[in-house]
Amino acid sequence: MSNVKQVPHAPDRNIGEGPFERLIIRGVTMIDGSGTPPDGSVDIVVEGNKIKEIVQAGLPESALANAKVIDAAGMYVMPGFVDTHAHIGGVNQGVPAEYVHKLWLAHGVTTVRDPGSFNGADWTIHEKERSEKNEIVAPRIYAYTCPRNWDKPLTPDNVPEFVQWAIEKGFDGFKIINRWNPDTIVALLEEAKKYNLGTMAHISQTTAARMDALQAARAGLGSLEHWYGLPEAMFADRTVQHFPAHYNYSNEYHRFSQSGRLWKQAAPPHSDKWNAVMDELIELDFTMNPTFAIYEASRDAARAQTADYHEEYTYPSLWNYYQPDPTKHGSFFTDWTTQDEIEWKENYRLWMAFINEYKNRGGRICTGSDSGFIYKTYGFDFIREFELLQEAGFHPLEVIRAATLKGAELLSKENNVPMEFGVIQPGYLADLVLVKENPLHNFKTLYGNGALRLNRDTGVTERVGGVSFTIKDGIIYDAKALLEDVKEMVHHAK
C-alpha cells in the first residue's frame, strides 16, 4: 500500500462553470456521434446536466433571458469522447492524477474506463466517486479491477469471493491480463455476467496458447484490448506462434519484436478462416478496442520519440519512463532495428484490414489510448487514435462514432444500464466538445497544441485548433486553460 500513496489524488475542483439551470449553445454545427453528417446551425439547450432540446434554425432572442449562452457560431460540437482503455497514470510514471485528468478533458474526453486500476483499488474508487460528484476536474470513470488488487491468488473456486469483493468496493468490471488458467477465466466471465459487471482482456502470449480471442468471446468476454489472441484464433497451419528458440516473454524486446511478426502468421485477409472467425465474433456481439496508437513507436520509433507536444506537455518523470530501459514496461528500444519497424508496418497493414472490415460488417469498434507507455502521452495520443482509425479505412464520421456512441454503447451493454451519453440527443447527459475547426477536415486540429496552417492573408504559418470547451455533466471547462495548467505542472516538475 505504500506505493499506492505515492500517486497524488486530484485536488478539489476549483475551476469549471456550472452546471447551470439553463445553458444554451447557440448557432453551432452539430456532429451528433451517430454517424450522420454535420447539421446546423442548431441551438442546444441544457438544463442542469442534461440536454433538454435541440432547436433547428435557432431560438428566439426572448428564450435567451436568464440563461448562460455560449455563442458558438462557426463552431462544431460533438459528444464527449469515451476512452475505453485509459490508465490514470501510475507509480512507475510518477504523474499526479490532476495532470492526467486535465489532459484528457483538454482533449474532449469526458468518460474513461480504467483497465485494472493499477494505482490500487481504494485509490481508483476514491477518484471515481469524486468524479461522479464533480468534486474534481476529471472525466467520468469506469473502474475495472484485476487480481493484483486482491490479496489472494485467483482460482476457479474463489472467483465468487473475488467478484463479491469487487462489488463491495464499487468496481464496474474486470480486466484479464497475463498468465491465467482458462478455467479461471471462464469462471470469472460467468460470475461477472450474473452481476452485470464488464469484462475486458489483454490476452497475452502467456494465455493465448490455451485460450485465444474467439474462445474467450464464446465464454462471454466483453471486449478485446489491443489484438493479442486474435491472430492466434486465425491460425490455419499452426497452433502456436512461431517463437524463436531464444525467446523469453519477460524480455520485452523479444516480446514486442516477435509480436510484430504475428499477424502474417494468421490466415490471410478474406480467406475462409479469416471470414469464419470474424463472422462468429460479430454474431457474439463482441467488441474490439484496437488501441492502434500505443504500438505506433514499434513501426516508427523516431516519430513517437520526437512528437511536438513532448517538450511542453510530457511530465519529466513520464519522459524518463519512456526511455530505453529493460526494467520498464514498454521501454524496449535498446536495439530496435529497421527490420523490426518493417515487420510492424506489415503487422499494422493486416491488423487494420481486419478492424476496418469488422466495422464494415457491423462489429463494434471503440477507441482506447492506453497512454502512459511507449512515448504516448495522455490526451494527445487519444487523438492520435482517431488518425490511425482513419488510416485503417474509417470515414471521419465513423471515427467519431467509435469515439463516442460505440464506447458508450459498450459500457451500457457491459453493465446492463441504459445509455446516458455518447450521442447528442435530448435526455442524454450534457457531455459535449466544442471546437472551432472542422474535425472531419483534419483530426490534427483536435490536438491540444493544434495543427500548422498557412495564413494566406499574412503569409505566416500558425497553429490553429485545439478543443475550445469541454462540457462534462453540464460543467464548462476551458480546454485552453486546462492545457496551461498542465504546462505549468510540467514546467514546475522540470
Confidence band, pLDDT 50/70/90 cuts, at residue 3:
very low
Give the whole-angstrom CA distance, residue 452 versus residue 407. Answer: 30
The helix (run of H) or strand (run of E) holding residue 132 is helix 121-132
Give the whole-angstrom CA distance, residue 264 versus residue 267. Answer: 8
Q: Between vectors from CA 428 to CA 423 and to CA 434, what angle results, nearest 5°? A: 55
pLDDT at 230 over 60: yes
Last residue of a domain, one of 384, 415, 446: 415
Query: pTM of the prediction?
Result: 0.97
pLDDT at 5 over 70: no
Whether 98 and 39 share a structural domain: no
pLDDT at 4 over 60: no
Last residue of a domain, one of 386, 415, 444: 415
Whether 402 and 482 share a structural domain: no
Mean pLDDT across the stretch 103-132? 97
Whether 135 and 202 share a structural domain: yes
Whether 249 and 295 share a structural domain: yes
CATH number at residue 275: 3.20.20.140
Whether 126 and 270 share a structural domain: yes
Q: Is 187 helix (H, G, I), strand (E, B) or coil?
A: helix
State the residue for C-alpha cell 461477472: 192
Give the whole-angstrom CA distance, residue 198 versus residue 406. Answer: 15
- Domain assignment present for 312: yes
Last residue of a domain, one of 396, 415, 434: 415
What pLDDT score does 7 carry? 83
- Domain assignment present for 51: yes
What is the tens place of the pLDDT at every residue in 395-416? Answer: 999 999 999 999 999 999 999 9
- Domain assignment present for 455: yes
State the residue for C-alpha cell 481508483: 124
- Domain assignment present for 192: yes
Structural domain count of the chain: 2
pLDDT at 331 over 90: yes
What pLDDT score does 105 carry? 98
What is the tens place of the pLDDT at every residue in 282-310? Answer: 999 999 999 999 999 999 999 999 999 99
CB 454 within 8 Å of CB 97: no
* Single-letter code of the amino acid located at 351: W
Of the candidate ranges 3-7, 77-81, 158-162, the one whose mean pLDDT is the lowest: 3-7
Whether 75 and 98 share a structural domain: no
What pLDDT score does 1 carry? 33
Task: Round the average pLDDT of the chain to a whole number and report it.
Answer: 96
In order, the DSSP letters of 419-457 are --SSS--TTSB--EEEESS-TTT-GGGGSTT-EEEEETT
Whether 358 and 430 share a structural domain: no
CATH number at residue 454: 2.30.40.10
- Domain assignment present for 316: yes
- Domain assignment present for 9: no
What pLDDT score does 51 carry? 98
Give the whole-angstrom CA distance, residue 81 versus residue 389. Answer: 15
Whether 52 and 115 share a structural domain: no
The region, left, alpha or beta by phi > 0 then psi within -120 to 50, assigned to residue 476 is beta
Whether 309 and 427 share a structural domain: no
What is the tens place of the pLDDT at every residue in 23-73? Answer: 999 999 999 999 999 998 999 999 999 999 999 988 999 999 999 999 999
- Domain assignment present for 15: no
From residue 54, give the alpha-carbon distance in Å to each of 39, 182, 305. 11, 49, 44
Of the candidate ranges 5-19, 243-257, 407-421, the one whose mean pLDDT is the lowest: 5-19
Whether 253 and 325 share a structural domain: yes
Of the candidate ranges 164-168, 300-304, 325-329, 464-468, the one whose mean pLDDT is the lowest: 325-329
Q: In 3D, which of 226, 233, 203, 375 has the Cα closest to residue 305? A: 375
Q: Is 55 helix (H, G, I), strand (E, B) or coil?
A: strand
- What share of the chain in percent tops pLDDT 70? 99
Q: Indicate the pairing of strand 467-472 with strand 475-478.
A: antiparallel
CB 449 within 8 Å of CB 308: yes
pLDDT at 422 over 60: yes
Backbone angles phi, psi at 407, to 5 degrees: -65, -45
Confidence band, pLDDT 50/70/90 cuts, at residue 151:
confident
Instruction: Output b/e per residue, 448-476; b: 16+ Cβ within 10 A.
Output: bbbbeeeeeeeeeeeeebbbbbbbbbbbb
What pLDDT score does 58 carry? 84
* Residue-number span of the structural domain to which 277 is assigned: 81-415
Of the candidate ranges 65-74, 88-97, 157-166, 199-208, the one whose mean pLDDT is the lowest: 88-97
Confidence band, pLDDT 50/70/90 cuts, at residue 90:
confident
What pLDDT score does 400 carry? 98
What pLDDT score does 99 carry? 98
Whether 167 and 93 share a structural domain: yes
Whether 153 and 42 share a structural domain: no
- Domain assignment present for 476: yes
Here the cell at position 53 is 432540446
Confidence band, pLDDT 50/70/90 cuts, at residue 366:
very high
Give the whole-angstrom CA distance, residue 117 versus residue 43. Answer: 39
